[in-house]
């Protein structure tokens, strides 16, 4: 691992990144537990193993910067600043959730931090992210949008349509492809011909490949590209090589028919982004392992409290069912001169 | 009052609203210098520049998606979809994304967006450039759907659409672009969900959408000559639908024909007819009749195309049947 | 008779037809080794190999387009669309291409293709994985639309669909995959356009599609206990629609409720209700009632989701209203 | 121009190519005339100027090979072997047209020669072409499919979706991009970022750029690629640089706002594919200019006869309006054991 900046002066940032990664892992462990104990409705897709991607990138963003997320979206949501209580409430369909329980895991959004939402249509948010960048350019704002998506989503034609326009119009958008080696139960090689980065380059978009388990490498690259995109040099494309520890979704338990236990073991033991980063932090003397443990313990407590809160929280009233189908329009604005 | 074409009316509405709100912009294929193949947008790029009148590559799903994202982040896109038939290409962005975002986010995100597109056959444009697909979007909660029936309507409905905080789809009839109607110079807006009674009558109600309003008007004239008094109503927006307005007329005349240019089966006439049947049943002297386009892909050959859509004569003939009680034997 | 699940029934239909016709193949995401997330296709790749059970990238428009081209050139594709909600992505290939090719070519080209997909809410899958979108495809001439209501129906309709020379869309209810029903070992096919009377009755007709057939059956049981005799009918295919079969029952009972899981407005219930109103009007003692899903995107929260779809109790309550003449006052 | 084969032994092929190019030009001149004299319903898009593309490629195909065509489809239709009478009947909506008048110019198809049809959805036939190639592979047939489309169509995401699958599955399909510099009223540079051939290459597809006004260059390349595709080495991509002489459609008369008269003049006078080829044919001694003139005259006569025939031909009976919505299925096949 090579640091982005002077290790001494940036220790706060590093510890924040560490904390955020631990928060994601802890959130997921709790979500998985809720599923296994049948307390969570529906299904969900775990982000564990990919923490360095979301954190490395989102730590390079401000609250005004936007992201779009995916079906595997908890990591992005946490990394972009969401709190556990509202997140767990959403996962459980409770009124205090980020979307008042109407969205659930696959549609969780957090507008206050610029998270435009998870999306249950693979590739479905590529236009949205590009459009957010379009707004910035149109209105002369300097925010940057990051579009997260998986290797599987690169098969969707929409990506090429919007990359073409982003390139033609120099939009401040960064396409972040989380290549975790699989889409559902299929290896990436079987569904992606040629080279993913070359596809972006063919549209004249500068593309990078980076180790998605190395939070510093991800963050260093992200810092640079975000600054350049803010400066009108976008769009950019990043392929982040990573791995998901769990099945495609929480119910995908017997998965040896598509990937070996050895492979999973290798990634967990040799390539875990949190373990790698904690080793670096202690080696560099930024924190002791006791200090890191204390961070983890604090996060665990937070999560426990949030889960308990969410389990006890109330469901939306049934009168909410037909609320929010349409947004209100101020009647005054619909009048002459209004 | 001055008369302008539907095309000019739309152009004026866009120009006025773009002046009013700097977050609005137009996006689509050949919308700038070319002003679209129908020339509806001529002059707008000169006034608002290419940053707000944005030519795109031929990538409908892509620019629709961009519009959704722009709408979610503070802009007000007006999407130009060259032919209504291309709506099939953007259904995911329109129906899975734009229509549902406000609801899925529990009201925290919204998508104030207008999709301008067209409809209408008999232009010899064949099966992929002649469809009237408004029934499809009307079925999806979260979308509003406007169907202007004249230059006047087109301007007023467009202005409301642009100020709406929701995704609105406007279907213009491409055969009406050059049709003129009186349009005031002064600003006006037409509210959504308020049907327009174009002609009062007592014997039968003719409900028409878009250009079928003219068809109904002509049918009413034919019928008037035969002493049948037809009321003609234009719902203006099919979502929201002015159910009360339509029911009122149905209860008054007790006979109704619904005319629409979409395919008849599983189309707009079915919804309107069944709401009236359900809620004005005991006032009706005869079943509500429906007239949509034939359930066939639109044929190219002029010999065939013309018979696929409702005509004034056809509407009048059905009205006579309803008046004469002929349906009793049919049913 | 042996009982098997709907999932097994579909699997058997596919296996039998793939043995019968070497030009058939399955194409879609994770259809081979994974046998789809719903495991409906388990075992097929072992028998037919990866050349005929073809895993695709996540590119619905792309593989749908490939299927159309394959169908035009002598193969019989069975397209697997993982969730019915994704139909929005393939509308152009399905509705502008597959549906119209036979007509546009004057009968010279044809597209024998099956699109297998699903529908149904209350699985806590939220707005983009819970829709029942069959009304949209039913509106497009050139497509046939089947809606199996049990394992038996699923097998028989699937076999017919695969032998059809036209594009057929089959919507399976994803909540019914594990429901068992008696299914004969011997081969059988269920013809399109022939409604199935599941229960005879004299007081009221309950028309249900897909899983709403079970809802109607349960409602009929509730009503039977109250001495209301309900007839339950499953149209099986909504295109072609067995209009005569439905009218016959409506004329007999003179009261009808139509139940479907698509959104109510501009949906399937509207078409069926208005055909009955139109053609059996003078036999009806009360307006045809419609019950669809609420006109809202499907919410995730279990507290909300469950109230969006028709239930046996709701159907029974409406039936009581119709029987008691309550509608007269409402209308 | 450099010949594909020995000029002497192949003179028959060359003259056939020449004739086919002249046939296309002549067909278009007549179609345009029908439009201008208000005898043709609707609109149509002229192929004039691009003849070497359709002919160079289709002359490398057999009748079993398939093509898919575009809104600008007359050229492909003629080049793939269609006859004038049925074509003009179709353009005029007559019963004897290739599609019984139901398709018209934008949907003309000719199944007997493997033309799967024009398409009024830009990019709409890319899946169809790839699917036709899929059938060949599935059923073990050796035919090749060529997918014609314009530069504008490269903006459609569908192209990338099907190229990915064609590459993964080695399908015998050739994507032929007719880059005529414009899509409607917009220059290609304004709507295509990066490089078109690089986009195909990024999917691992071998891509070529060729002068689309040089019928021999096109044909030589096509011969090679078709043979290789037949041999399982596909897919391939060709970008053919060409130009349309007329407006986007027959009604697009005043077009100086998007392209200059000088530019049009340059292409017509310096780069005309028929003029270039006739010069080569006479220079090589394959034909005299009198012989070439005789060919043209013959073609003109053919066209005149066909136009007259079509004008006099009858429209389909109105009972045809709801015929062909559904294809018949043999009832016997819908029975047990059937
Ligand atoms: C349009 C669409 N097609 C298919 C699916 C079903 N699906 C959900 S996740 C997924 C795999 C996505 O793979 P990838 O993009 O690599 O993301 P990952 O799950 O690996 O994070 C699929 C096929 C979907 N939700 N949307
Ligand atoms: C999906 C779709 N979008 C837009 C159009 C309208 N349109 C017809 S032709 C055309 C331009 C096509 O350009 P190109 O692919 O370069 O072909 P060319 O006309 O130059 O031969 C457009 C935009 C269409 N028919 N289909
Ligand atoms: Mg993946
Ligand atoms: Mg072009």
Q: Map tokens 């139909």 to a residue.
A: C87
- Write the CATH number for A98: 3.40.50.970
- Alpha-carbon dihedral angle through residues D28, D34, D40, D46, given to the nearest 10 degrees: 20
Q: Which residues of B are catalytic?
A: 60, 129
Under 8 Å CB pairs connecting chains A and D tally to 74
Residues B140 and B266 in one domain: no
- If you average pLDDT over every residue of chain A, what do you get? 96
- A252 lies in some domain: yes
The number of the ligand 2 atom at minimal distance from the alpha carbon of B128 is 25
pLDDT over 80 (residue A191): yes
Residues B166 and B200 in one domain: no
- C187 lies in some domain: no
Question: For residues D42 and D92, what is the distance between their CA atoms, to the nearest angstrom?
Answer: 9
**Quick one: pLDDT at residue A138?**
98
Cβ–Cβ under 8 Å, residues C36 and C117 = no
Residues B221 and B162 in one domain: no
Q: Is C122 helix (H, G, I), strand (E, B) or coil?
A: coil
| D156 in reach of chain A (CB within 8 A) | yes
- D4 lies in some domain: no
Q: How far is CA D305 from CA A227, D79, D88, in A?
A: 68, 19, 10
**Quick one: pLDDT at residue D6?**
59
- D3 lies in some domain: no
- D285 lies in some domain: yes
Residues from chain C contacting residue B139 (CB–CB below 8 Å): 135-136, 262-263, 265-267
Residues from chain C contacting residue D337 (CB–CB below 8 Å): 187
Residues B79 and B167 in one domain: yes
| A285 in reach of chain D (CB within 8 A) | no
**Strand positions, DSSP E, C125-274:** 144-146, 167-173, 180-182, 196-199, 204-208, 230-234, 237-239, 256-263
Cβ burial, residue A261 (10 Å; 0-12/13-18/19+)? exposed
Residues C143 and C244 in one domain: no
Question: For residues D155 and D34, what is the distance between their CA atoms, to the nearest angstrom?
Answer: 32
- Residues (pLDDT < 50) of chain B are none
Rounded to the nearest angstrom, the gap between the alpha carbon of residue D189 and the centroid of all alpha carbons in its chain is 23
Please report the sign of the dihedral spanned by the C-alpha atoms of residue D325, residue D327, residue D332, residue D338.
Answer: negative
Look at strands C180-182 and C3-5 and give their pairing. Answer: antiparallel
Residues B13 and B131 in one domain: yes
Query: Which among C182, C209, C230 is the end of a domain?
Result: C182
Residues C216 and C107 in one domain: no
- D36 lies in some domain: yes
**Quick one: pLDDT at residue B49?**
98
**Quick one: pLDDT at residue A8?**
61
Separation of A121 CA from ligand 3 center, angstroms?
Answer: 14
Q: Map tokens 């249950």 to a residue.
A: A120
**Quick one: pLDDT at residue D338?**
86
Please, which residues have CB within 8 angstroms of residue D293's CB and are 6 or more apart in sequence?
A: none
| Tokens linked to B92 | 């995911």
| Residue span of the structural domain in which C311 resides | 196-324
Residues B309 and B166 in one domain: no
Residues B118 and B153 in one domain: yes
Separation of D121 CA from ligand 2 center, angstroms?
Answer: 7
- B39 lies in some domain: yes
Q: Do B294 and D41 touch (CB under 8 A)?
A: no
Question: For residues D60 and D83, what is the distance between their CA atoms, to the nearest angstrom?
Answer: 19
Closest CA of chain A from C194, distance in Å: 36
3-class SS shares of chain D: helix, strand, coil, % to 5: 50, 10, 40
Mean pLDDT by 10 residues, chain C (331 residues): 97 98 98 95 98 98 98 98 98 98 98 98 97 98 98 98 98 98 98 98 98 98 98 98 98 98 98 97 96 98 97 98 75 50
- B145 lies in some domain: yes
| pTM, to two decimals | 0.98
Cβ–Cβ under 8 Å, residues D321 and D44 = no
**Quick one: pLDDT at residue B330?**
52
pLDDT digits (tens, 9 = 90+) for B83-135: 999 999 999 999 999 999 999 999 999 999 999 999 999 999 999 999 999 99
Question: For residues A226 and A204, what is the distance between their CA atoms, to the nearest angstrom?
Answer: 18
pLDDT over 70 (residue A1): no
Q: Scanning every residue of chain B, which has its alpha carbon at the shortest distance from the alpha carbon of D188?
A: B57
- B204 lies in some domain: yes
Residues C164 and C266 in one domain: no
| B285 CB-side CA count, 13 A | 16
Please report the sign of the dihedral spanned by the C-alpha atoms of residue D28, residue D34, residue D37, residue D40.
Answer: negative
**Strand positions, DSSP E, chain B:** 3-5, 24-28, 53-55, 76-80, 113-119, 144-146, 167-173, 180-182, 196-199, 204-208, 230-234, 237-239, 256-263, 289-293
- D5 lies in some domain: no
Question: For residues D312 and D94, what is the distance between their CA atoms, to the nearest angstrom?
Answer: 9
Q: Do B277 and C277 touch (CB under 8 A)?
A: yes
Q: Map tokens 């779809």 to a residue.
A: C309
Q: Do D165 and C112 touch (CB under 8 A)?
A: no
Query: Which among B182, B204, B233 is the end of a domain?
Result: B182
Protein residues near ligand 3, an ion, with CB under 5 A? A 150-152, 180, 183
Identify any residues that bridge with D182 across adjacent strands, giving them in sequence order.
D187
Check: complex ipTM more than 0.90:
yes
Please, which residues have CB within 8 angstroms of residue A314's CB and are 6 or more apart in sequence?
A: A94, A95
Question: For residues B267 and D305, what is the distance between their CA atoms, to the nearest angstrom?
Answer: 45
Closest CA of chain B from A161, distance in Å: 5
Q: Scanning every residue of chain B, which has its alpha carbon at the shortest distance from the alpha carbon of C256?
A: B278
D74, D76, D122, best to mutate for ligand 2 pocket (most atoms within 8 Å of CB)? D122
Nearest in space to D143 (alpha carbons), one of D206, D77, D66: D66
- C284 lies in some domain: yes
Cβ burial, residue B305 (10 Å; 0-12/13-18/19+)? buried
Residues from chain A contacting residue C62 (CB–CB below 8 Å): 155, 157
Residues C43 and C163 in one domain: yes
Residue A170, by phi and psi: left (phi above 0), alpha (psi -120 to 50) or beta? left
| Tokens linked to A132 | 């957010």
Question: For residues D215 and D3, what is the distance between their CA atoms, to the nearest angstrom?
Answer: 9
φ and ψ at residue C314, rounded to 5 degrees: -65, -40
Q: Scanning every residue of chain C, which has its alpha carbon at the shortest distance from the alpha carbon of A39?
A: C302
Q: Do D106 and B55 touch (CB under 8 A)?
A: no
Question: For residues B282 and B277, what is the distance between their CA atoms, to the nearest angstrom?
Answer: 9
Host H or E run for residue A306: helix A289-312
Domain count, chain D: 1
Cβ–Cβ under 8 Å, residues C27 and C54 = yes
**Quick one: pLDDT at residue D2?**
61
**Quick one: pLDDT at residue B144?**
99
Q: Do D157 and A156 touch (CB under 8 A)?
A: yes
Cis peptide before A128 (omega within 30 of 0): no
Q: Is D248 helix (H, G, I), strand (E, B) or coil?
A: coil
Instruction: Give the angle subtended at the CA of A141 by the CAs of A140 and A147, to the nearest 5°.
Output: 120
| Tokens linked to C71 | 């169908």
Query: Which among B149, B182, B215 is the end of a domain?
Result: B182
Closest partner residue to A42 (CB to CB) among C59, C86, C123 is: C123
pLDDT over 70 (residue D191): yes
Choose, out of A322, A323, A324, A327, the residue to mutate when testing the contact with C (most C CBs < 10 Å): A322
Question: For residues D207 and D198, what is the distance between their CA atoms, to the nearest angstrom?
Answer: 8
The CA R_g of chain C, rounded to the nearest whole Å, is 20
Ligand 2 site residues, Cβ closer than 6 angstroms? B 29, 58, 60, 82, 86, 89; D 71-72, 120-122, 149-153, 178, 180, 182-184, 248
pLDDT digits (tens, 9 = 90+) for D207-263: 999 999 999 999 999 999 999 999 999 999 999 999 999 999 999 999 999 999 999
Q: Quickly state the pLDDT bin for D45 (edges 50, 70, 90).
A: very high
Q: Is B181 helix (H, G, I), strand (E, B) or coil?
A: strand
Identify any residues that bridge with D148 across adjacent strands, giving them in sequence order.
D176
Closest partner residue to C104 (CB to CB) among D66, D99, D145 is: D99
Look at strands B113-119 and B167-173 and give their pairing. Answer: parallel
Separation of C113 CA from ligand 2 center, angstroms?
Answer: 27
Question: For residues B113 and B64, what is the distance between their CA atoms, to the nearest angstrom?
Answer: 10
Separation of D76 CA from ligand 4 center, angstroms?
Answer: 15
**Quick one: pLDDT at residue A5?**
55
Q: Quickly state the pLDDT bin for D111 (edges 50, 70, 90).
A: very high
**Quick one: pLDDT at residue D10?**
86
| Residue span of the structural domain in which D146 resides | 11-334
Question: For residues B323 and A84, what is the distance between their CA atoms, to the nearest angstrom?
Answer: 67
- Write the CATH number for C177: 3.40.50.970
Instruction: Give the angle subtended at the CA of B147 by the CAs of B141 and B150, to the nearest 5°.
Output: 165
D125, D184, D240, best to mutate for ligand 2 pocket (most atoms within 8 Å of CB)? D184
- Write the CATH number for B282: 3.40.50.920
- B138 lies in some domain: yes
Question: For residues B228 and B284, what is the distance between their CA atoms, to the nearest angstrom?
Answer: 17
- A161 lies in some domain: yes
Residues C103 and C234 in one domain: no
**Quick one: pLDDT at residue A338?**
86
Average the pLDDT over D183-190 and give the result. Answer: 96
Nearest in space to A112 (alpha carbons), one of A80, A144, A139: A80
Cβ–Cβ under 8 Å, residues B270 and B259 = no
Catalytic entry in C17, C102, C129, C231: C129
- C289 lies in some domain: yes
Q: Scanning every residue of chain B, which has its alpha carbon at the shortest distance from the alpha carbon of D123?
A: B58
Q: Do C189 and D334 touch (CB under 8 A)?
A: yes
Q: Is A285 helix (H, G, I), strand (E, B) or coil?
A: coil
Cis peptide before C95 (omega within 30 of 0): no
Rounded to the nearest angstrom, the gap between the alpha carbon of residue C125 and the centroid of all alpha carbons in its chain is 19
- B329 lies in some domain: no
The CA R_g of chain B, rounded to the nearest whole Å, is 20
Domain count, chain C: 2
What HEC string does C251-317 produce?
HHHCCEEEEEEEECCCCHHHHHHHHHHHHHHHHCCCCCEEEEECCCCCCCCHHHHHHHCCCHHHHHH
């Amino acid at each position: 691992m090579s640091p982005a900046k002077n290790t001494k002066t940036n220790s706060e940032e590093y510890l924040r990144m560490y904390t955020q990664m631990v928060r994601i892992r802890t959130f997921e462990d709790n979500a998985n537990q809720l599923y296994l104990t049948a307390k969570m409705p529906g299904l969900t897709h775990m982000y564990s193993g990919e923490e360095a991607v979301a954190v490395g990138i989102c730590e390079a963003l401000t609250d005004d910067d936007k992201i779009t997320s995916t079906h595997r979206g908890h990591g992005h949501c946490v990394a972009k600043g969401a709190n556990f209580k509202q997140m767990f409430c959403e996962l459980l369909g409770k009124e205090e959730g980020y979307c008042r329980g109407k969205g659930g895991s696959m549609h969780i959004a957090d507008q206050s931090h610029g998270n435009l939402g998870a999306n249950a249509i693979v590739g479905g948010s590529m236009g949205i992210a590009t459009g957010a960048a379009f707004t910035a350019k149109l209105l002369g704002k300097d925010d940057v949008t990051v579009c997260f998506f998986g290797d599987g989503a690169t098969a969707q034609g929409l990506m090429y349509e919007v990359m073409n326009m982003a390139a033609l119009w120099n939009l401040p958008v960064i396409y972040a492809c989380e290549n975790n080696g699989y889409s559902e139960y299929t290896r990436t090689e079987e569904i992606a011909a040629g080279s993913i980065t070359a596809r972006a380059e063919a549209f004249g978009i500068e593309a990078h490949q980076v180790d998605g388990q190395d939070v510093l490498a991800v963050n260093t690259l992200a810092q640079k590209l975000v600054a350049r995109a803010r400066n009108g040099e976008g769009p950019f494309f990043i392929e982040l090589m990573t791995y998901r520890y769990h099945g495609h979704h929480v119910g995908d338990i017997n998965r040896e028919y598509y990937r070996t236990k050895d492979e999973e073991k290798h990634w967990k033991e040799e390539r875990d982004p949190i373990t790698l980063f904690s080793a670096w932090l202690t080696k560099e003397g930024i924190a002791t392992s006791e200090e890191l443990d204390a961070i983890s313990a604090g996060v665990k407590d937070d999560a426990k409290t949030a889960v308990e809160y969410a389990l006890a929280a109330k469901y939306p009233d049934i009168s909410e069912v037909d609320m929010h189908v349409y947004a209100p329009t101020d009647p005054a604005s619909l009048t002459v001169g209004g | 009052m001055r008369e302008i074409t539907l095309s000019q009316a739309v152009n004026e509405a866009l120009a006025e609203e773009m002046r009013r709100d700097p977050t609005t912009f137009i996006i689509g294929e050949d919308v700038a210098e070319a002003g679209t193949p129908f020339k509806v947008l001529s002059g707008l790029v000169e006034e608002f520049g290419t940053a707000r009148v944005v030519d795109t590559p031929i990538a409908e799903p892509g620019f629709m998606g961009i519009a959704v994202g722009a709408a979610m982040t503070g802009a007000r896109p007006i999407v130009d979809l060259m032919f209504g038939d291309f709506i099939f290409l953007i259904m995911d962005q329109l129906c899975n994304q734009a229509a549902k975002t406000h609801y899925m986010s529990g009201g925290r995100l919204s998508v104030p967006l207008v999709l301008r597109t067209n409809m209408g056959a008999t232009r010899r444009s064949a099966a992929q450039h002649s469809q009237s697909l408004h029934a499809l979007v009307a079925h999806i909660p979260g979308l509003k759907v406007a169907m202007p029936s004249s230059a006047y309507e087109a301007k007023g409905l467009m202005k409301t659409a642009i100020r709406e905080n929701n995704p609105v789809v406007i279907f213009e009839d491409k055969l009406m672009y050059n049709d003129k109607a009186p349009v005031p110079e002064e600003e006006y807006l037409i509210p959504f969900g308020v049907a327009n009674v174009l002609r009062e009558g007592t014997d039968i109600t003719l409900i028409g959408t878009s250009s079928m309003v003219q068809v109904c008007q002509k049918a009413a004239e034919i019928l008037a000559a035969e002493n049948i008094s037809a009321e003609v109503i234009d719902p203006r927006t099919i979502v929201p639908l002015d159910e009360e307005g339509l029911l009122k007329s149905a209860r008054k005349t007790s006979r109704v024909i619904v005319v629409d240019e979409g395919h008849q089966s599983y189309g707009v006439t079915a919804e309107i007819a069944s709401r009236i049947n359900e809620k004005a049943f005991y006032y009706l002297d005869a079943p509500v009749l429906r007239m949509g386009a034939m359930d066939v892909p639109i044929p190219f050959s002029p010999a065939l195309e013309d018979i696929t859509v409702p005509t004034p004569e056809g509407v009048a003939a059905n009205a006579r049947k309803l008046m004469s009680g002929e349906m009793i034997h049919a049913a």
